[in-house]
Structure 1
Amino acid sequence: MSAPHRHPSGGHRVAVTGIGLKTPAGHTLDQVYAAVLAGRPTAARVERLVEADLPVHFACLVPEFDPEAYLSRREARQIDRPAQLLLCAADDALADAALPADQPRDRIGVQIGTGIGGLSSMEAATAGFVDRPRDLPVHTVPRTMANSPACRVALRHGFQGVCTTYSSACASGGTALGEAARRIRHGELDVAVAGGVDAAVSTVVLGAFARMRALSLRNDQPALASRPFDADRDGFVMGEGAAVLVLERWESARARGARIHGEIAGYAENCDAFHIAAPHEDGEVAARCMQRAVADAGLSLADIGHISAHGTSTVPGDRAEARAVERCYRGQSPPVTAVKGVTGHLIGAAGALAAALALHCAARGLVPPIANLRHSPEADLVDLVHGTPRAVAPAPVLANAFGFGGQNACLVLAPPT
């Protein structure tokens, strides 16, 4: 990096001072890190999916989640599961960041990504009240608004800065983090509560993805179903969760003695402009996104210590991503991992969760193995980590988030310096 408190672009460096997670692999960063490091899958049978006679009977759910540990019973009743997950993750992230009480509220923003939005809540409302719309609950509209989770965070804490919801499919969480970092870098915000959320384990959502043949159908072996880059992968596993990071100006974090997890050093996004539900098979556009994120950080590709791949466990998605990495590194890639073998696909939260874990792993010099990876047709293109964690020197990490519509978002995260 250049001067201690300045980004190579001349703007502010962006510190990560808080992390809050609600995921199938745990409720804290340490819990999720341990599960991912051990390659411990969380997919399991879900009875309501069986009862609905769906083709897929399993998913990755957040275990033992009690919103009333954070919210009053009245609050918990008024908001839906995505907003509950996000509010609780945001509370944990803010507690971790320990912002000063006199931090100006009009300089704190909320930037959240979601891929599904309020679809699951709309599904429930339609199923229960289609024949009697006059009886719809009074909170139906706030529960189904895609921007409700972000606004709930702002309302709860009185944050009066920019409050924005991003929807770029499965890239949404990565997009939200990158855009929040940009706003801090360029002086629009001092602090941002940023990340992603989705809770889309519903009959309509899973039925629709199953019709697209995007989901794994390993009903007899759900724990083995999510297998990024594996030769026998047959689709992704739906998950749910929220991942929130507190971002702030580096110089402010240092001045107040905050614990700094690291920084968001680079960000780029682009679009394949190829197909509404499939990546460009040659990976060229995604490769450009990766290269631009690294350049935005003022680094070279050789500076990247490992890559946290999007790695959904779909045949075309993983193949295209491997080709994108190969385009960048010409067969000499750094170690590549992916967390969805453990957590399933958290849709709008996936990119934010991957970024948080990637930063934590980079600082500790351990790259987690890809769960359920045995043999890979992509092994000739990239260096896939499998079996046991890989020790590496602490270094910046590249985290990818790719979504339907050809949405690509790439982040470079660096350990604290």
Structure 2
Amino acid sequence: MSSDPWGRVDEQGTVYVRTAEGERVVGSWQAGSPEEALAYFERKYQGLSAEIGLLEHRVRKTDLAAKDAQTTLDHLREQVAEAHAVGDLAALGQRLETLAGEIETRQGERRAAKAKAQEETRAAKEKLVTEAEQLAESTQWREAGDRLRALVDSWKALPRLDRKSDDELWHRFSHARSVFSKHRKAHFATLDAERDQAKAVKERLVAEAEALSNSTDWGDTAAAYRDLMARWKAAGRAQRDAEEELWARFRGAQDVFFQARSATFSERDAEQGENQKLKEALLVEAEAILPITDLKAAKAALREVSERWEAIGHVPRDAKPRLDARLNTVERAVREAEDAEWQRSNPEAKARATGMTTLLQAAVDKLQADLDKARAAGNASKVTKLENELAGRQALLDQAQKSLEEFSG
């Protein structure tokens, strides 16, 4: 018989393992010595110990799932309880119980971590839903649309919650997106209608612009184009392609008209520039009339200048006032000389002047005679009165005689 601290082999070759509850048969050995029998069953014990060691390593050093660890633990418990091995089976059992506690602790930690992760996921999804619901009323169509698509990507990247919670939050999230999409579609439908209306208005404006493009009524047509441009701006925008095509036609019609007007004005400006030079030369001739010494010759010269002036035609607008002012100066001088000549040769005026002078001369002569008598009589007060009257009448007489002399000039 052979034995060691954890087992023995009896004379019949039966192998026993010692436990706290007593000895238990683990097998029999007939092929060799008792030592070899014990060594064989000890190796089985070491195999169990190695399997437990492997589980210890996986539980403590890897991310082995608690469920898988528990399954392996339960299997090893059965093997240890029924082990056909010799060794400290109680120690193996204790190691398994220690592992059981560690697995339970890990399960608790994982449940807590899972619960925390679920709460974090719930909070993250609720935040996404809240933002989506705010964006649902936005009219910043591009920015809000881009942001909602980004929120969908963020939602997909998050883990699922329990089915009820996840479905409820997704329903709110999806509803917010639908509301935004409905509002956006309505907006763009209205916008399309407005653009169709703008297109119709602008097509009519283009037709009007093209009808005016060959007009030579420069002033009225230019005003008409200004009115068309104001109506174009007020019409709003059509769809991009239509807007660009209509605008090209509208501008093209304007360009035809304004280029033709510009060419005409350039030709007219050149002609009027030459007219200005001719009129400036005429002004030199007209101004040579002054000062007037021979009214008849001056009138004849001015008449010839005026006829040639009118025949020349228009000058540039900015030069016209200055040129006209110089000619008017000559014309005014001739008119004033003519008026003065008329006054000198007017028989009725000369007769009136002669009559007035005669009457005043008679009045002066009478006052002088009365004054001489008053002086001779020594009537001082009458002398003073007559002297004042005589002075006033003499002044009037002098003025009348001067006017009469002008008719004799």
TM-score range relative to shorter protein: under 0.3
Greater RCO, 1 or 2 (C-alpha within 8 Å, sep 6+): 1
Q: Rg: which structure is higher?
A: 2
Which structure has the highest strand share of the two? 1
Name the structure where helix makes up a greater proportion of residues: 2
